[in-house]
């Protein structure tokens, strides 16, 4: 493949010392050279309100344009109350509107969820996948990525130090690269 694929990474946590942000950086480091991962910030997005569709805030417009420009999307999220965090749901809604003009449409995607708990954000991972079906984001089914015990995977500088997790995530990114290639629209 001659082209580097632009992957928009959406981190569901807004926390400054977010485990999921650390994980997103680790995924970027472990990605094959054919993928360029960039975190797209979502904390600045005003709450979606359909009344804003006629004259959208500049932040909505910039976010939508950035998602449209990407070849693929990677969601890295914690779990809040067995679902996705409010900021992530808002970003999904902002990108999906106005109706019929979704920036997400047809973008190959993948979901990684992480938490200190043992089930690794399973509920958020699957709840997000429900939305991705409606948004026409073909989400990679395998390998699944629920990263439990995430609070023990990074050193004080935020570097991933668990070799088993590093190996798993490198394989995940190889699979995602193949998924993107197989599902990219011409």
* CA dist list (Å): 51 to 42, 54, 105: 20, 7, 22
Whether residue 132 contacts residue 139, with contact meaning beta carbons closer than 8 Å, is answered with yes
pLDDT in tens, 140-175: 999 999 999 999 999 999 999 999 999 999 999 999
Q: Which CATH number fits domain 5-183: 3.40.50.11540, 3.40.50.360, 2.120.10.30, 3.40.50.720?
A: 3.40.50.360
Beta partners for 84?
A: none
- Domain boundary assignment for the chain: 5-183
pTM of the model: 0.96
pLDDT at 33: 98
CA dist., res. 26 & res. 168, Å (int): 12
CA distance 13 to 20: 7
pLDDT bracket for residue 185 (50, 70, 90):
confident
**pLDDT 10s digits, 18-54:** 999 999 999 999 999 999 999 999 999 999 999 999 9
Asked if the model's pLDDT at residue 85 lies above 70, the reply is yes
Q: What residues have CB less than 8 Å from 69, skipping those under 6 apart?
A: 6
Q: Are the C-beta atoms of residues 107 and 44 closer than 8 Å to each other?
A: no
- Residue 2's pLDDT band, with cuts at 50, 70 and 90, is low
Residue 94, SS3 per DSSP: helix
Residue 11, pLDDT score: 98
């Amino acid at each position: 493949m001659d082209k580097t694929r632009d992957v928009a990474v959406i981190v569901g946590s807004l926390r400054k010392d977010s485990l999921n942000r650390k994980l997103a950086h680790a995924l970027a480091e472990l990605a094959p050279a054919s993928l360029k991962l960039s975190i797209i910030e979502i904390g600045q997005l005003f709450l979606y309100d359909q009344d804003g569709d006629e004259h959208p805030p500049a932040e909505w417009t910039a976010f939508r344009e950035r998602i449209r420009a990407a070849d693929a999307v990677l969601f890295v999220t914690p779990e809040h109350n067995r679902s996705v965090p409010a900021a992530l749901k808002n970003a999904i809604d902002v990108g999906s509107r106005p109706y019929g003009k979704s920036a997400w449409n047809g973008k190959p995607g993948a979901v990684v969820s992480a938490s200190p708990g043992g089930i690794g954000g399973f509920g958020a991972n699957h709840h997000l996948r429900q939305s991705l079906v409606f948004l026409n984001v073909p989400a990679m089914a395998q390998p699944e990525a629920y990263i439990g015990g995430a609070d023990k995977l990074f050193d004080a500088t935020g570097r991933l130090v668990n070799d088993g997790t590093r190996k798993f995530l490198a394989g995940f990114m190889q699979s995602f690269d193949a998924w993107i290639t197989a599902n990219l629209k011409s």
